[in-house]
Amino acid sequence: MRYEGTQLSFDLGHGGVVEVRLHREPCNEIGLVMLGELERVAEAAHAPGVRAMVITSAVKRGFCAGADLRELHRENASRASEPVEARVREVRGFLDRIHAAFDAIDAAPITTIAAVHGVCFGGGFELALTCDLIVADKSARFCFPELRLGLIPGFGGIPRLERDVGNAVIRDLLLTGRSLGAARAQEIGLVSQLVAPGEHLSVAHRVAEQACRFDAATTKVAKAFLKPIPKERLAREKDVFCELFAGPVVAKALARFDADTSAMPYLPAKQDSA
Amino acid sequence: MSTANDVLPRLMTLAAERFGKRSSELRPADDLFDALGIDSVEAMSLVTALEERFGIEIPDYEVQDVRTFEELATVIARRV
């Protein structure tokens, strides 16, 4: 099994471990093309002969900066004359597809590992949360910046975070928009292993190879028991995202993001709170 | 409890090493983005390195408006 996409690639190595490499500059932003290629990853996670999957980034800046907000802004702006319902329908279609792909990765009957460095923000954080384990190098930082845009995470991140960590942490991340370093992320249970810079991929592979030594059918049953997907919460998250998207804040916030050159563009600028 | 003056030399040495500058080139009042020639992602990596070096957590909203080494040292000193 081998796939060479324009924004990601994967192949099946010895022992049944698929390595997925995201390679879209500058930081693996998830737009329509990346979505189509992630759907291939979701299929691969259920393919015969696959025993484990490692998802990593070949891009220097980090794992994934999240949704392609500039593409979303351009698309939204180009359809500004259309009724808001039409634009929301378009966004909901995108969310339906990304939820289907992420749910499939999440529920794959194999062990999945996100090997993370650098930026792991928004939709990228949500992708990492679909995996069973996160192996992070010390440069990794995790963040949900969506409130800055007048939105909440929409790729299933909130229910998955609720599955993994306490609500106080979730409120802190979402309502302040701040990022967490890898060490803090390990303390709260998000990161299973914290490793030296540049070691995350090799450690992830060693973890995957260890997981492959178990009986595949047992892993499948254990996985189904360990990772039920909270479907009602996932559906509700999509609804809330779409309700917010239809409101007055998002288009302006996307335009502001598009033009932003500030040091920390994922945090709300002072004028945002005015 | 540390003061900003205690923290500043260690902070500037770490920043210089990390971004290939000589610490003698840097001044406390310098704009750290300009002095180090870094962007927002590299600034995040500096925050991560400082968290590790000082054994603290630095919420990024506390450094959001920081521009100079001495302002950053003040933020760190509050948490060391």
How sure is the predictor about A260, in pLDDT bands with cuts at 50, 70 and 90? confident
Set of chain A residues whose Cβ sits within 8 Å of the Cβ of B60 = 178-179, 264, 267
How sure is the predictor about A274, in pLDDT bands with cuts at 50, 70 and 90? very low
Task: Name the residue among B40, B45, B52 with its Cβ closest to that of A264.
Answer: B40
- pLDDT tens-digit profile of A27-46? 999 999 999 999 999 999 99
C-beta of residue B31 within 8 angstroms of C-beta of residue B68? yes
Please, what is the Cα angle at A223 between A219 and A225, to 5 degrees? 120
Catalytic annotation, pick one of A67, A115, A128, A185: A67
| Whole-Å CA distances, A8 to A37, A40, A44, A68, A102 | 7, 10, 13, 15, 15
How sure is the predictor about A270, in pLDDT bands with cuts at 50, 70 and 90? low
ipTM field: 0.81
Is the model's pLDDT at A93 over the cut of 90?
yes
Task: Name the residue among B57, B61, B64 with its Cβ closest to that of A184.
Answer: B57
Nearest Cα to Cα of residue B58 among B42, B40, B70, B76: B76
- List Cβ neighbours of A42 (8 Å cut-off, separation of 6 or more): A100, A101, A102, A104, A105, A108
User: Once rounded to an integer, what is the mean pLDDT over residues A178-204?
Assistant: 95
Tell me the C-alpha distance between A56 and B3, whole Å. 40
- pLDDT tens-digit profile of A2-19? 999 999 999 999 889 999
Centre a 10 Å sphere on the Cβ of residue A156 and count the other Cβ atoms it contains.
27
| Whole-Å CA distances, A155 to A98, A123, A130, A269 | 6, 6, 10, 24
User: Any catalytic annotation for residue A4?
Assistant: no
What is the per-residue pLDDT for B68? 93
- List Cβ neighbours of A246 (8 Å cut-off, separation of 6 or more): A84, A85, A87, A88
How far does the CA of residue A31 sit from the closest CA of chain B (Å)?
21
% of chain A exceeding 70 in pLDDT: 95
